[in-house]
Amino acid sequence: MEFPTACRTALQAGKMYGVVLFVHSWNRWLVLASGIATLAIAIQGRAARREWTKMDQHLTRVFISSLDLQAVLGLLLYFVLSPIVPKTMTEFKAAMHVSALRFFAIEHITMMLLALIAAHLTAVLGKRAVTSRARQGRLAWGVALTLLLLLSSIPWPGLAQGRPLFRWL
């Protein structure tokens, strides 16, 4: 039996949504782990008055790159693949009274975009620092702020908008 084109397209979009959501869910752990590691090396380096190394730079790039990937996946989910967002936007006023819908329609995306901006601003300000100590200080503060924004906007299990810690296909 052959499905009409519209049905096939909807089925493919549904499969793509599931795959992108899976990757988005798992990539968050790379973002958090690399962010915590970047914060730790910045604090440790500043405390020890250690010079900025290529390894420090590499770890910072992994953090920023994984966060960029997370943002691209999230924006793809939000603007292209989500079956929920278009319905939420058409009934915006009513949706704002449902905490889970409000979280994903407004709060999650806003806070995550702020975290992305904070991370990139931190990287730029860190590169402009004259000394390793100043770079590590800027990086420590900026990554700490970025992590706070990220951690406050993850749909942790147990919350009204909670999602599983580990999503499976």
Structure confidence by residue, pLDDT tens digits, 56-105: 999 999 999 999 999 999 999 999 998 888 888 889 899 899 998 999 99
In a domain, 163, yes or no: no
Does residue 162 lie in a domain region? no
Q: Is 84 within a domain?
A: yes
Asked if 30 contacts 66 with a C-beta cutoff of 8 angstroms, the reply is: yes
d(CA 122, CA 139): 6
| Domain assignment present for 103 | yes
Measure the CA–CA gap between 122 and 143, rounded to whole angstroms.
7
In a domain, 22, yes or no: yes
- In this structure, the number of other CB atoms found within 10 A of the CB of residue 73 comes to 19
Which amino acid makes up residue 7?
A: C
105: nearest Cα among 130, 87, 123: 87
Structural domain count of the chain: 1
Q: Is residue 50 part of a domain?
A: yes
Q: Extract the tokens encoding 1.
A: 């039996």
Q: pTM of the predicted model, to two decimals?
A: 0.89
Helices (H), the chain: 5-48, 54-76, 85-90, 92-95, 99-102, 108-128, 132-152
Tens digit of each residue's pLDDT (9 = 90 or more) over 108-146: 999 999 999 999 999 999 999 999 999 999 999 999 999
Q: What is the mean pLDDT of residues 17-30?
A: 95
In a domain, 77, yes or no: yes
Asked if pLDDT for residue 35 goes beyond 90, the answer is: yes
* 161 assigned to some structural domain: no
SS3 label, residue 13: helix
Provide the residue range defining the domain that includes 71: 9-152
